[in-house]
Amino acid sequence: MKRVRVLLRVSSNQQLDADGDLDIQRQIDLDYIREHKDWVLDKKEYFEGSNSGYKNAVEKRDILKEILEDAKNGEYDILVVYKDDRVGRRMWEIGSYVMTLKRYGVDIYTVKDGCISPETDDIMGQMVLALRYGNAQKSSSDTGMRVKDTAKKLVQKGRFMGGKAPYGYSLEYSGEISKHGRALKHLVIISEQTEVVVFIYDLAFYKEYGSVKIAKILNTHEKYKDMAPNDIWKAGTITSILTNPIYAGYTAYNRRTRTDGVYHKLGSDNWIVAEECNPEIAIVEVYIWNGVQDLRKKRADNIAKTDEHKDPNITVMISNRGTLALMDVLYCGYCGCKMTNGSRYNYWTIKGTGEKRSGKVGIYKCQDAWSGAVHPGRGFYRADKIEPIVFNSISEYIGRLQENDDVFQEIEINKQKEKKAVRTELEKEKQELLKIQKKIDVMEENIPQAMTGEYPLSLDDLVRLIDKQKETYSKQQEIIKQKEEKLKNMDVSISEWGYLREQIPTWQQVFLDADSHTKRVLVDKLVERIDVMEEQITIRFRIRLEDFISNPEKTSQNLLATASDKSIILNNIKIK
């Protein structure tokens, strides 16, 4: 007897809400299974809801990964689906997925076409499989184009095309019925939230505040702080409100696009906007909305500091420090958020000549504070202020390490654990590279058919797909190269350690004089985490400090050793 499992899938929320659609799928599948006397239905059933089989790659569909894993474990023999497009609509990926299941001993059967899994040596069958999903992908693509063209026409007439209601609005039934028999909804203003939206636009238009500052004001406002859409006002939320023309009464479409499952914002030049204002959904005046867009553009131009925006009378002195040395280990001591890199400009005038100058310096900034959340402290620290403090402490730490004969063993133990994790990541990336190469090989094998018109794609389309995959291949090679470099930099050999010990005490100064990249590599080897506050820095090392801080009197006064948690705390400091 062959063990059979069923996959049920709906690709939209409307289908997900319609129980009848799922019930019908299940009933048809079960009837089909009963027709086969040597099949036995397994108790486990797979279900995927509201997840497009055309837009989403296999690797981003958890249910397909679960099906594959169960097949690998030999838990079943046959997968039954209502139609072949229930598995997916991506020509190269789904064909490869079907053949992978086949290698694990699992065949896919559809109610309409029976077994669609060719034998591993059946080249013609595999070509038919590619054609099957090539047609499915083309059908989805054509449908998507028709939907987009229709949506553009409807938006130009002022129709809201669905999705989540923007802040300040709710979706309510309009009383209209679509040609598919579904009840349509429209936007309705939420009066309580309207007040907040107007307040946001007033701050942006009349006071010319940016998104970060507005978010900070809202998060401390007695009334508005409790009206954030997700518990806290963030700069991204404010930006979304300030750039959406819906608040001026104009519906819009094509404000973002989706590529490989990831959404990207598009510039306003690509938007499809309603031809006329709908006063029923307008919250702010059109001139205010347009004014805010102009102010935001001017501010962006000033921040960009590109050549055409620079003041010709100002000489800019840029400190090119490269990658900040503490990027991998520095965290905000107030909220625990990882610090990211940034930069700021300083401006001054030389008294003797009156010459104006500016300097660019690197900074570490807390992502939470930078988004406008309520946050103690300033939320950012200049690299040239914080790094010397940390480096001096690490240098002293290195000196203590060099006095201990056994410290290398503990470093090596910790590093081996990290290296194992990195090796696992590296192996996954290499496997992904092989998958990409296989896709390229398959496509290149079909070039002759495309040239003779015997392939579902034209030669030009096939070449474009090949070029795209080769670009992906190059990017994947770069990822692997970075992983390999990271793995290489994690090694601290016994011979290296012996050399370092021989250099006492000069090696400490070598560390202080090293370039930013070298410091970053060494910091990653020795330091697990650094938490920074305005008057305190906590450095957590990768090994226990009790092994080398045996003489507290030798330790600097502001260096407090806490051996139990491998940390040192720098107290009573001022980071300007």
Please provide the DSSP assignment of 217-257 as one string: HHHH-TTGGGG-TTSS--HHHHHHHHH-GGGGT--EE-SEE
Q: Does 66 lie in the same domain as 127? A: yes
* Site of tokens 């669905």: 162
Of 111, 144, 177, the one marking the end of a domain is: 144
Q: How far apart are CA 383 and CA 389, in angstroms?
A: 10
Indicate the residue among 332, 353, 387 that finishes a domain. 387
**Is the distance from CB of 89 to CB of 140 less than 8 angstroms?**
yes
- CA–CA separation, 450 vs 540, rounded Å? 60
Contacts 24+ apart (CB under 8 A), 335-341: 335/366, 335/368, 335/369, 335/373, 335/375, 336/531, 337/366, 337/367, 337/368, 337/369, 338/367, 339/364, 339/365, 339/366, 339/367, 339/381, 339/532, 340/364, 340/365, 340/367, 340/370, 341/365
Higher pLDDT, 564 or 31: 31
In the numeric block, the tokens 């693509």 are attached to 141
- The answer to the question of residue 78 being in a domain is yes
What's residue 322's pLDDT?
Answer: 46
Domain termination residue (choose one: 336, 365, 387): 387
When pLDDT is cut at 50, 70 and 90, the band that residue 138 belongs to is: low
pLDDT of residue 103: 87
Which ranges of 44-90 would DSSP assign to H, the alpha helix?
A: 62-72
> Within this chain, do residues 194 and 289 fall inside the same structural domain, yes or no?
yes
- Give the span between the Cα atoms of 211 and 241, in whole angstroms: 10
> Is residue 73 within 8 Å of residue 43, measured between CB atoms?
no
- What residue numbers bound the domain in which 329 lies? 314-387
Rg (CA), the chain: 31
pLDDT at residue number 151: 52
Contact 90, 129 (CB under 8 A): no
**Confidence class for position 420, pLDDT limits 50, 70, 90:** confident
Q: Which helix (H) or strand (E) holds 147?
A: helix 123-156
Asked whether residue 111 falls in the same domain as residue 7, the answer is: yes
DSSP state letters, 99-117: HHHHHTT-EEEETTTEE--
CATH number, domain containing residue 62? 3.40.50.1390
Whether 492 contacts 412, CB under 8 Å: yes
Between CA 102 and CA 108 the distance in angstroms is 8
pLDDT tens string 365-375 = 888 887 777 77
306-339 pLDDT, tens digit each? 444 444 443 333 333 446 788 888 899 888 888 8
Using DSSP, state whether 378 is helix, strand or coil: coil
Cα 47 to Cα 115, 117, 239, 434, 545, distances in angstroms: 20, 21, 37, 30, 53
Q: Which pLDDT tens digit goes with each residue over 260-300? A: 555 556 566 667 777 788 888 899 999 999 999 888 888 77
On whether both 15 and 137 belong to a single domain, the answer is yes
Are both 286 and 319 inside the same structural domain?
no
Percentages (nearest 5) of helix, strand, coil residues in the chain:
50, 20, 30
| 450 membership: H or E segment, kind and range | helix 447-451
For residues 237 and 360, membership in a common domain is answered with no
**Assigned domain for 153 exists:** no
Residue 9 and residue 133 share a domain = yes
Average pLDDT along the chain: 74
Tokens describing residue 168: 């300040």
The per-residue pLDDT for 367 is: 82
Residue 121 resides in a domain: yes
The domain tally of the chain equals 3
60 and 193 inside one domain: no
User: Phi-psi bin for 27: left (phi > 0), alpha (psi -120 to 50), beta?
Assistant: alpha
Q: What is the DSSP letter of 347?
A: E
Considering the domain boundaries, does residue 263 fall inside one?
yes
Select from 148, 122, 152, 118 the least CA-distant residue to 55: 148
140 and 7 within one domain? yes
Rama region for 305: left / alpha / beta (φ>0; ψ in -120 to 50; rest): left
Q: Tens of pLDDT along 470-507?
A: 888 888 998 998 888 777 766 544 445 555 555 444 44
Query: Would you place residue 560 in the very low, low, confident or very high pLDDT band (cuts 50, 70, 90)?
Result: very low
